[in-house]
Structure 1
Amino acid sequence: MSLSLRSYATPCLRYAMAARTRAVSSRAFSQSRAVRAKKEEEDDEGDSGDEAEDKKSQRRGRRGPFRGPGTKYEDPAFVQWLRTDGEKFRKVTPEGRQYLGGLQTPFPLNPTFKPPMPMPDATRTQLYLDYMRDNLTIREISRKYNISLRRVEACIRLKHVEFEMRMEGRMPETAFTTVMERALGIEAVLQEKERRAQERAEEERLALQVEDAQTPVTLAGGHAAAVAQKLQEDRWPEEALEDIDADALSEEDRWQKKQEKLEEDEETNEEPYPFLADDKLADFMHDLADPKAPAAPYIKMYFEPVEEIVVCLTCWAWR
């Protein structure tokens, strides 16, 4: 009995003593680390900014953040490179992505690999609005933006989850998205597209400022000239058609003008109804003016383009 009790109590006492020893050693290590940090700060007070930074870098390389003393994870050469050539990589440039060596691809040995730009959050929002507000199908949206069907479905589902979160009062965190778009160059591309759209709108505005009613504006650039020509066609269609050279028209335009000309000729040279050429039917038309004629109920039917000849023949037979 005593042997079994001793065999049971000895490991328990040994475990308690080991735990106490670890607690004492941890407390002593924490105190010594705090004292060492305080002493290092006092030593750095008399140094300049660069010297203090060098000492801190050396201490970090000697000690390490979480791996204990003696773990070296920073090279002085790397720290020196960060101060010289690596300084331009500290902040994001307006162009977005920057690769080492001034290259346009991330891997120097594989220049053909050019990763595409991620889809902007504004584009994903527009996809969701086209699906929910404009009632466009997945296939129509895919054809409109030249995006695969699976990707359109994924974007719409994620945006719907975000919409439900906003409806519940839970605002999603978008800071990471904004920073990554700036770092990957998406923001710069969007700004470039917006700048081009503004220039295009400015050209249209200048093209619409017509000084003389008979003289369209002709600016440098094909788009402005096209807008001015379109404005002239809208205001003076006949004059615009006369100014256009026949050789410059396409085959479809010439055929369209020919059909319009034929329709105008048919309207001007319209043949009379066949029953008006008959003398007896002409007399019947004269009898319709007589209020005593029993054919009065057929007057309304006569003016309707429905079986006029049958109505006239019926009235003539009754007479």
Structure 2
Amino acid sequence: MTKTLILDGHNDLLSRLWAMNDRGGDSFFAGRAGDISLENCRAGGMAGGFFAIWVPGEVADAPDPMARYRAFPAISVEKAHRVTMEQASILIRMAAARPDAIRLCRTVAEIEAARQVGAFAAILHLEGCEGIGESLDELQVLHAAGLRSLGPVWSRSNIFGHGVPFDCPASPDTGPGLTDAGKRLVVECDRLGVLVDLAHLNEAGFWDVAACSHKPLVSTHSAAHAICPSTRNLTDRQLDAMAERGGLVGLNFGVGFLRPDGIKNPDCPVEVMIRHLDHLMLHLGEGGVALGSDFDGTMIPGWMGSAAGLPLLVAGMERAGYGPDLIARLCWGNWLNLLSRVFTPG
């Protein structure tokens, strides 16, 4: 079994630590139960990734895993401001306490430097911008603190746009796209060199980002709608538009977005993931596909278990005939190339 270096497009560790009131991330280092821990990452070859800030709704608003469709109500701005800062501070504390183990990276050079010394390269991401106001003042502060990636919405509406609900089978064309404030947010992200994530936007929002931004079009954790017709997945038309812009898709490991029936069932063979990778590469090319696990935020295939099981995915790629150069690009190089083009301000 081959252990390959992996840079992952999305995990939800910060919201898990926040919910546990683990404000220093101590359980990450000690070996917490869950997909992501320092031990699991090292065992699986996961050496970098996007750490998402996600503000949960009320308990009553939590998604029903068996529901075919679910829209999510808005959350209060006051709560979003507070929780956004609290979750960002967790990663900042972790990196300050253990720079030997994890580093908050703001540039591609810092990602490479972390890799060279064996530290986890963490990229701070904001999944849903309820914690940012129309003035975008909070964006400036978060960027100064290390934020380098954001999704304007999670799967609920806010002042910037409209998230795509969880539904299958269904089209991602579920309503209006970005608001005027959302369009200003995208333009400012381009100026700052912050990646704009399309993962939870509906189709109208996708095309609005394409019109507002001059950067590559990126979805950090999605899959192919042609295989699993979930609203959260990308249609061939969207993939072709991303290819024209030199964009990238990080493959989501969530079984509800991989299985053709869209059911949350951990019985999801590695061959299903390979089928998605093949379809994405058919449209985006070998340079436009990477990994975006959604660890600690979704139900992953049972055979993988956690980040420690990533070598099993690599072994599946090898059995499918992927050569070592292609595997290295899918697991690390393609993200690095994409970030080198997005993180440049202007």
Larger Rg: 1
**Whose RCO is larger (CA < 8 A, sep 6+)?**
2
TM-score (normalised: structure 1): 0.18
- The answer to which structure has the higher helix fraction is 1
TM-score (normalised: structure 2): 0.17
- The answer to which structure has the higher strand fraction is 2
